[in-house]
A and B are shown apart, each in its own frame.
Chain A
Amino acid sequence: MSLFRVFDIAGSAMTAQSVRLNATASNLANAESATSSSGQPYRAKQVVFAATPLTASQPQAVGVQVATVSEDPSPARMVYDPKNPLADGNGYIAMPNVNVVEEMTNMISASRSYQTNADMMNTAKVLLQRTLQLGQA
Chain B
Amino acid sequence: MLSSLNNYFAFNEAALKLRGTRQEVIASNIANADTPGYKARDFDFGQTLSNAMAAQRGASNEMGLARTDGRHLAGKPHSTLEVDLMYRNDVQPSIDGNTVDMNTEMRNFTDNAVRYQASLTFLQQRISGMRTALQSQ
Report A's interface with B, CB cutoff 8 A: 1-3, 5-6, 9-10, 12-13, 17, 20, 48-51, 59-64, 109-110, 113, 116-117, 120, 123-124, 126-127, 130-131, 134-135
Evaluate contact between A48 and B36: CB separation under 8 angstroms: yes
The reply to whether the CB of B55 lies closer than 8 angstroms to some CB of chain A is no
Least CB distance, A136 to chain B, in whole angstroms: 9
Given contacts A2-B17, A127-B116, contact A60 B24 (CB under 8 A): yes
Q: Mark B83-102, 1 if CB is under 8 A from A, else 0.
A: 10100000000000000001
Q: Choose one: B35, B102, B120; the contact of A49 (CB below 8 Å).
A: B35
Q: Mark B11-24, 1 if CB is under 8 A from A, else 0.
A: 00000110011011
Least CB distance, A71 to chain B, in whole angstroms: 17
For the complex, what is the distance from the CA of A117 to the CA of B102, rounded to whole Å?
A: 12
Least CB distance, A102 to chain B, in whole angstroms: 14
Give the A-B pair count, Cβ closer than 8 A.
93
Evaluate contact between B30 and A130: CB separation under 8 angstroms: no
Closest B residue by C-beta to A109: B34
Evaluate contact between B31 and A13: CB separation under 8 angstroms: yes
Evaluate contact between B27 and A9: CB separation under 8 angstroms: yes
- 8 A–B contacts, CB within 8 A, in A order: A3-B23, A17-B34, A62-B31, A109-B34, A113-B33, A116-B106, A124-B23, A134-B124
Evaluate contact between A2 and B23: CB separation under 8 angstroms: yes
The prevalent SS among residues of A at the interface is helix
Least CB distance, A18 to chain B, in whole angstroms: 13
For the complex, what is the distance from the CA of A101 to the CA of B83, rounded to whole Å?
A: 43
For the complex, what is the distance from the CA of A60 to the CA of B16, rounded to whole Å?
A: 17
Evaluate contact between A124 and B34: CB separation under 8 angstroms: no
Evaluate contact between A120 and B30: CB separation under 8 angstroms: yes
Closest A residue by C-beta to B130: A135
A120 surroundings in chain B (CB, below 8 A):
27, 30-31, 109
B16 surroundings in chain A (CB, below 8 A):
131
Evaluate contact between A134 and B28: CB separation under 8 angstroms: no
